[in-house]
Amino acid sequence: MKKIMLKSAVVALAGTMLFTSCIGSFSLFNKLAAWNNDATGNKFLNAIIGVVISPAYGICLMADWWVLNSIEFWTGNQVLADVGKTQPVVGSDGDFYLVTTIVDGYSISNETKKQTSFLKFDKENSVWSYESEGQVSKLLRVNADNTLTVFLPNGDTMDVTNDAQGLQQVKAALNPAIPFMAAN
C-alpha cells in the first residue's frame, strides 16, 4: 500500500514539475468572450446570448486547456494568433501607417506615401528580416541562448544580450556620434 502511495506521489510530483507554467493564453476562450461582449450594442442582450451559448464556453475552455495551450507552451507559438489584425499607427515622421499581422510577421503600409514593407520572421533560421521594394535585409537572429546577432548596415554583425543593455549597444554601433549614455 505504501509503495502505491509513494508511486502516486512521485507521478503527481513529476506531473506538476512537467506542466509548471503551462497556463497559456486561452486564446480560443478569450476570442469567444470578446465576441460575446461585443455581439450587440446592448449589454443585457449580450448577457442573454452568453447564457444561450454557454456550452460553447465550456468546449472552448477545454480545447484551450488540453490542446491549444499545450501546443503554445511546447512550441512557443499561439495557434490562434491574430493574423489579419490591423493596427493604425502614426510614425515619428508624422506619416500614417497600417500594421497588419501576417502569418510570418507584419505588413507595414505607409498610407501617406502609399508604400508597403514587411517585417518577416524565418522560423527555420530564427531570423527577422525587413523587406521593401523587393530588397530584403536581415535585421537580427535570435540565438539558442536568447542572445541576438544583429546584422549591421555595413555588413558586420554583433552579438548582444536580449535586453536594454543590448539595445544600447546596437544604438551606439548604429550612431557612434551620439555618446553611449545619451542614446536612449
Share of the chain above pLDDT 90, in %: 3
Q: Is the pLDDT of residue 178 over 70?
A: no
Sign, CA torsion 41/44/45/50: positive
What is the residue-wise DSSP string for 102-163?
ETTEEEEEETTTTEEEEEEEETTTTEEEEEETTEEEEEEEE-TTS-EEEE-TTS-EEEE-SS
pLDDT (0 to 100) of residue 159:
93
Per the rule left: phi > 0, alpha: psi between -120 and 50, beta: everything else, 170 is alpha
Cα angle value 179/182/184 (rounded, 5°): 125
3-state secondary structure of 174: helix
For the segment 90-124, what is each residue's pLDDT rounded down to a tens digit? 777 888 888 888 888 888 888 888 889 998 888 88
Any idea which of 13-22, 80-89, 135-144, 165-174 has the lowest mean pLDDT? Answer: 13-22
More confidently predicted of 140 and 68: 140
pLDDT (0 to 100) of residue 13:
44
For the segment 67-88, what is each residue's pLDDT rounded down to a tens digit? 677 667 666 666 566 777 787 8
- 8 Å CB contact between 114 and 97: no
pLDDT (0 to 100) of residue 22:
55
Mapping DSSP onto H, E and C, the string for 57-105 reads HHHHHHHHHHHHHHHHHHHCCCCCCCCCCEEEEECCCCCEEEEEEECCE
Indicate the pTM of the whole model: 0.54
